[in-house]
Structure 1
Amino acid sequence: MARRALTITATAFATTAALLLTACGGGDDSASDDIRGAGTGSDSTAASPSAASGRPDVSLPSDLEVEFDITKPSDSRHAAALDSAKSYILALDHGITAQDPEDPAYKFYSLGSATKYAKSQIQAWVDDDWTATGSESYYRGRTDDVGTSKGVLVTMCRDQSKFYGKNVKTEKIRYTKESLNDFQEFRLLMKPPQDSQKVWKVLQIEVQGRVEDCRR
Structure 2
Amino acid sequence: MRTRPTTTAAAALTAAVALMLSGCGSDTDDSGKDKIAGADTGASASATPSASASEDGIERPEIKLPSDVQNVFEGGSTGDAKKDAVLADNERRVNSIDEAIVVDADKHPALEFYSKGDALMSAATYIKSFYDNDRSFTGKTRYYDREVTFAKDGSATVTYCMDATDTYPKNRKTGKVDRSVESSPSDYAFYNTRLEKNSEGVWQTTSVSSTEAAERCM
TM over 0.5, shorter chain: yes
Letter in 2 for 1:154: V
- Please give the alpha-carbon distance, in whole angstroms, between the structure 1 residues aligned to 2:3 and 2:191: 18
- 1:19 maps to 2
- The residue type equivalent to 1:207 in the other structure is S
Q: What displacement does 1:102 show?
A: 5.4
Matched residue, 1:157 = 161
Q: 1:211 aligns with which of 199, 211, 214?
A: 214
- 2:62 pairs with one of 57, 67, 74: 57
In structure 1, the residue matched to 2:32 is none
Secondary structure class of the residue paired with 1:55: strand
Bigger drift between 171-180 and 182-191 goes to 171-180
Residue pair 1:101, 1:123 contacting (<8 A) in 2 also: no
Contact 1:99–1:131 under 8 Å retained in 2: no
Report how many aligned residue pairs link the two structures. Answer: 168
Gap regions ≥5 residues in structure 1: 1-17, 22-49
Quick check: 197-206 or 99-108, which moved more?
99-108
> 1:99, 1:125 → 2: CA distance?
12
Aligned to 1:94: 99
- Superposition pairs for residues 1-216 of structure 1, below 5 Å? 18-19=1-2, 52=54, 54-99=59-104, 103-146=108-151, 148-175=152-179, 176-193=181-198, 195=199, 197-215=200-218
**% identical aligned pairs:** 27
Displacement of 1:60 in angstroms is 0.6
Give, in whole Å, the separation in 1 of the partners of 2:131 and 2:214: 27
TM-score by length of 2: 0.71
Structure-1 separation of matches of 2:149 and 2:134:
38
Query: Taking structure 1 as the reference length, what is the TM-score of the superposition?
Result: 0.72
Higher alpha-carbon deviation: 200-209 or 171-180: 171-180
Q: What's the CA shift for 1:19? A: 2.5
Deviations, residues 37-62 of structure 1 (Å, cap 9, x unaligned): xxxxxxxxxxxxx8626311222101
